[in-house]
Amino acid sequence: MPSAAANLARLTHAPGVVLIYESGTIGAKPDVLPLSIGDGELAEHADTVVSIPEIFRYWLQGGRVDVGFLGAAQVDRFGNINTTVIGDYAHPKVRLPGAGGAPEIASNAKQTWIIIKQTKRSFVPKLDFMTSVGHLEGGDSRARSGARGAGPTAVITDLGVLTPDPVTRELTLTAIHPGITVEQAKAATGWELKVAPTLAATAPPTAAELATLRELHARTARAHGTPGATE
């Protein structure tokens, strides 16, 4: 999903965007969406391909990433995320893939955007495991923790967009997709969801954006029989 979103941006309003994948591809311009973050398609059209230590040291920890895109199995009200286990760590109910690049993306990118399906199972009052930092315990706790960057500035779900309150840093529903109600969003949240007094409606995609996205997915399906995915 982040890969599709970033490439749609590149193909529409942001032709100059520099896409960086943690496999070491900088300035990737894939013609089809990669099935994994290390597909040859990403290397083929990249400005440069660097080693794994270099991508994480010079480019990420060096502070050169403006926006980090993250997915998650669970997110809490402060945008902290879990991609490690459901249940107890030593005896997990479900063993998830783990951290990957997320902990350092979360604490070194200038800001992060989280993309996740909003349900009571994913929007939890308490994470089973804290893999990567968001706004920690809210307020100025992130700033005091040593994490750099602004942290999650948007959590984009299938129901709407949540952004952190400027003071408490609690995720607040600030925009809702057409056809979705506030009640639906509240029912899909495991805590008492804060809702902005003036709720924006997400702008529907333009015909050009939709056409570009559909072409991208069609090319991808022809190339490897799937709409494409990341990690």
Task: Report, as residue numbers or ranges, the catalytic residues.
Answer: 22
**Contact pick of 15, 53, 178, 179 for another protein (by CB under 8 A):** 53
136: left (phi over 0), alpha (psi -120 to 50) or beta: left
Considering the rule CB under 8 A, would residue 76 count as an interface residue with another protein? no
* Candidates 91-99, 109-117, 157-165, 190-198; binding stretch for another protein (CB under 8 A): 91-99
218: enclosing H helix or E strand: helix 207-224
Positive/negative CA dihedral, 192, 194, 197, 203: negative
User: Which residues from 116-135 bind another protein, rule CB under 8 A?
Assistant: 129-133
What is the DSSP pairing of strand 152-156 with strand 160-164?
A: antiparallel
| Other Cβ atoms closer than 10 A to 173 | 23
Q: Are 213 and 8 in contact (CB under 8 A)?
A: yes
Residues 162, 165, 170, CA angle at the centre, nearest 5°?
Answer: 75
**Contact pick of 74, 107, 118, 189 for another protein (by CB under 8 A):** 107
Considering the rule CB under 8 A, would residue 100 count as an interface residue with another protein? yes
**Contact pick of 6, 102, 161, 188 for another protein (by CB under 8 A):** 102
**Contact pick of 12, 61, 184, 212 for another protein (by CB under 8 A):** 61
Residues 112, 113, 116, CA angle at the centre, nearest 5°?
Answer: 135
* Candidates 48-56, 67-75, 166-174, 183-191; binding stretch for another protein (CB under 8 A): 48-56
Considering the rule CB under 8 A, would residue 23 count as an interface residue with another protein? yes
| Interacting residue ranges for another protein, rule: CB under 8 A | 22-25, 34-40, 42-43, 49-53, 56-57, 60-61, 80, 84, 89-95, 97-104, 106-108, 129-133, 136, 142, 145-148, 224-226, 228-231
